[in-house]
């Protein structure tokens, strides 16, 4: 439990004070020593991540000596963490933390942590009380004073806001001008409606460091928020002129034009920034990512986006980040081959990058170019022989080529590499093996694998759908087929393949009315991109509903998509699905 490890390291980093035996009864002193020992052992267990024993030891130490509130502080926090579903435990833990603070507000780290807990929980009044006390005990620590300021500003009433300003003035006198302090001051001023004081504060900040780009950009942001566009652009321009390599400055100026609805200026600013040789690569990447994210859907912008990428890649041909981003854009634009090409350039920068190898193989798989995907996979396995996903993709592509022995070899290798806890991938692999057995006309073996796949992951919709369809095809356990197919349809009510399977199960169960109802939905969903199998099923189902003419129409449409299908030709010629 990472959060608890943090608590042990932060809350108690000052150490637990040891007690003296002077004037303490022997039994109580002995109990105190035992509690101290158990507490230190608990800290050791916490450092090793042994959460259960940590909690038990903490509880044991506290029961031995309930007067030792530092133990109660740690136990209380743990109880709050465990009490997310037990409000009584959480309340008790919180009260233990509060008790320690009230008795020992000078325990700096514990007090800081208790204050942060209240801030996180939204206990604003208690947070103000805590930060006020800690600030009074530590007047030279500006971070504590800022925490008090933030809590006061959460109240948003005039008295609290004014008090926060007084504290900020105190910090500023001691520490000097600082953007963080100024932003807190202006936040309070604007909350009170005091625009004039906010502008005075901006002028004071700028006077303290006229060539500070951060200050210039902040001033632009404030004037933008106050709907003073002329002053806002003045400061954004100044920031760009002060530091021509500052990507944030160009980003802010581009955003200014975007918010003003000036798309031409926005495009111009982005292009100007990206094509500057002296702008840092990281800044260009962020700016380009934001720009593409905004305009990628506009097909009219595609030539401009392409030119930007090509210009950047001319400047920075070895920057893999640009290649990754360009690849992502090309996928959205529908250019899968171009996306794969960019990933191939990118992977050369880091041949151990599994994600890029996987992406290239997946893209070629989507292009039905299994041979290229396999060639890519062979190269990838030279550098990453034990990557389970690359082995899985190799199997899938060999399966696509109907090279079932090679496919099974890679699926078995992938299965041996997958973590036992990764039930989703394990289920996917086992189901793929089932597909191979079925393709080899070994349905009984296939069904064994499908059952295992579903047992591993009951949410594996592909396994559920294929199992249901093949059970129906073999007229086996049609009730189970209906149940599994129904799960797929509920999960994907717009998936034509799942709905086609559901219709086919009802057809096999001789419920032709329901079969027609569902096949109509599948055909409707496919619209202008029908599948031959779905149209073939539609023909059979319509025939059994005594609509022979429409059945033949469906078979004829299916034959256009699958012109070498002899069975379809016989159905059309004989006007019946019952052909040899």
Domain limits for position 434: 421-514
CB 357 within 8 A of CB 317: no
- The answer to whether the predicted template modeling score (pTM) of the entire model surpasses 0.75 is no
Q: Give the pLDDT of residue 5.
A: 34
CATH number for the domain that contains residue 426: 1.25.40.10
pLDDT in tens, the chain (580 residues): 333 333 333 344 344 444 444 555 676 777 778 878 888 887 888 788 787 888 888 888 888 878 888 888 888 888 887 777 778 888 988 999 999 999 999 999 999 999 999 999 999 999 999 999 999 999 999 999 999 999 999 999 999 999 999 999 999 999 999 999 999 999 999 999 999 999 999 999 999 999 999 999 999 999 999 999 999 999 999 999 999 888 788 888 988 998 888 988 988 888 888 887 777 888 888 888 888 888 888 888 888 899 899 989 998 998 999 999 999 999 999 999 999 999 999 999 999 999 999 999 999 999 999 999 999 999 999 999 999 999 999 999 999 999 999 999 999 999 999 999 999 999 999 999 999 999 999 999 999 999 999 999 999 999 999 999 999 999 999 999 999 999 999 999 999 999 999 999 999 999 999 999 999 999 999 999 999 999 999 999 999 999 999 999 999 999 999 999 999 999 999 999 999 7
Sequence length of the chain is 580
Residues 39 and 110 placed together within one structural domain of the fold: yes
Number of domains the chain contains: 3
> Nearest CA to 171 among 160, 158, 184, 159?
184
Indicate whether 558 belongs to any domain: yes
Indicate whether 75 belongs to any domain: yes
**Residues 93, 89: Cα–Cα separation, whole Å:** 6
DSSP track, 261-317: T-HHHHHHHHHHHHT-TTS-HHHHHHHHHHHHHHHTT-GGGHHHHHHHHHHHHHH-T
Indicate whether 98 belongs to any domain: yes
Residues 11 and 98 placed together within one structural domain of the fold: yes
DSSP track, 171-218: HHHHH---HHHHHHHHHHHHHTT-HHHHHHHHHHHHHH-TT-HHHHHH
Residues 552 and 467 placed together within one structural domain of the fold: no
**Which domain-ending residue is among 481, 514, 547?**
514
DSSP track, 456-517: H-TT-HHHHHHHHHHHHHTT--HHHHHHHHHHHHHH-TT-HHHHHHHHHHHHHTT-HHHHHH
Residues 493 and 555 placed together within one structural domain of the fold: no
**Residues 370, 393: Cα–Cα separation, whole Å:** 10
Residues 495 and 570 placed together within one structural domain of the fold: no
């Amino acid at each position: 439990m990472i959060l608890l490890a943090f608590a042990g390291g932060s809350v108690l980093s000052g150490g637990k004070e040891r007690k003296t035996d002077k004037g303490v009864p022997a039994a109580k002193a002995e109990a105190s020593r035992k509690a101290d020992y158990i507490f230190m052992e608990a800290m050791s267990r916490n450092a090793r991540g042994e959460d259960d024993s940590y909690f038990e030891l903490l509880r044991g130490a506290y029961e031995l000596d309930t007067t030792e509130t530092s133990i109660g502080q740690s136990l209380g926090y743990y109880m709050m963490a465990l009490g997310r579903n037990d409000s009584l435990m959480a309340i008790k833990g919180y009260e233990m933390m509060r008790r320690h603070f009230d008795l020992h507000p000078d325990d700096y780290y514990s007090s800081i942590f208790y204050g942060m807990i209240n801030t996180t929980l939204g206990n604003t009044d208690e947070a103000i009380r805590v930060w006020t006390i800690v600030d009074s005990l530590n007047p030279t620590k500006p971070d504590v004073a800022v925490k008090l300021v933030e809590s006061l500003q959460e109240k948003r009433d005039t008295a609290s806001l004014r008090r926060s300003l007084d504290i900020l003035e105190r910090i500023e006198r001691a520490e000097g001008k600082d953007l963080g302090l100024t932003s807190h001051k202006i936040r309070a001023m604007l909350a009170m409606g005091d625009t004039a004081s906010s502008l005075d504060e901006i002028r004071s900040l700028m006077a303290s460091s006229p060539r500070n780009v951060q200050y210039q950009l902040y001033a632009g942001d404030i004037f933008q928020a106050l709907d003073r566009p002329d002053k806002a652009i003045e400061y954004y321009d100044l920031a760009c002129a002060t530091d021509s390599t500052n990507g944030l400055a160009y980003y802010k100026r581009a955003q200014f034009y975007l918010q003003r609805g000036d798309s031409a200026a926005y495009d111009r600013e982005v292009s100007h920034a990206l094509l500057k040789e002296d702008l840092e690569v990281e800044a260009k990447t962020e700016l380009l990512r934001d720009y593409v994210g905004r305009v990628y859907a506009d097909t009219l912008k595609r030539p401009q986006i392409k030119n930007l990428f090509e210009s950047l890649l001319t400047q920075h041909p070895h920057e893999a980040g640009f290649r990754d981003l360009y690849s992502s854009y090309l996928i959205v634009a529908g250019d899968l081959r171009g996306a794969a090409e960019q990933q191939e350039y990118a992977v050369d920068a880091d041949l151990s990058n599994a994600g890029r190898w996987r992406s290239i193989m997946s893209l070629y798989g989507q292009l039905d170019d299994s041979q290229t995907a396999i060639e890519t996979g062979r190269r990838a396995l030279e550098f990453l022989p034990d990557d389970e996903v690359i082995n899985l993709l190799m199997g899938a592509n060999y399966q696509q080529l109907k090279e079932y022995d090679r496919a099974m070899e890679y699926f078995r290798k992938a299965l041996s590499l997958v973590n036992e806890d990764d039930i989703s991938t394990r289920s996917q692999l086992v189901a793929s093996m089932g597909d191979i057995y079925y393709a080899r006309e070994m349905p009984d073996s296939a069904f064994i694998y499908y059952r295992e796949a579903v047992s591993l992951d009951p949410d594996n919709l592909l396994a559920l759908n294929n199992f249901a369809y093949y059970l129906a095809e073999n007229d086996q356990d049609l009730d189970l087929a209906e149940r599994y197919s129904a799960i797929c349809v509920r999960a994907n009510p717009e998936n034509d393949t799942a709905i086609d399977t559901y219709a086919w199960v009802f057809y096999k169960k001789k419920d032709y009315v329901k079969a027609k109802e569902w096949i109509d939905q599948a055909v409707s969903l496919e619209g202008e991109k029908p599948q031959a199998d779905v149209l073939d099923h539609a023909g059979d189902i319509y025939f059994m509903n005594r609509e022979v003419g429409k059945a033949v129409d469906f078979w004829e449409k299916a034959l256009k998509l699958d012109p070498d299908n002899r069975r379809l030709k016989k159905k059309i010629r004989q006007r019946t699905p019952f052909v040899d």
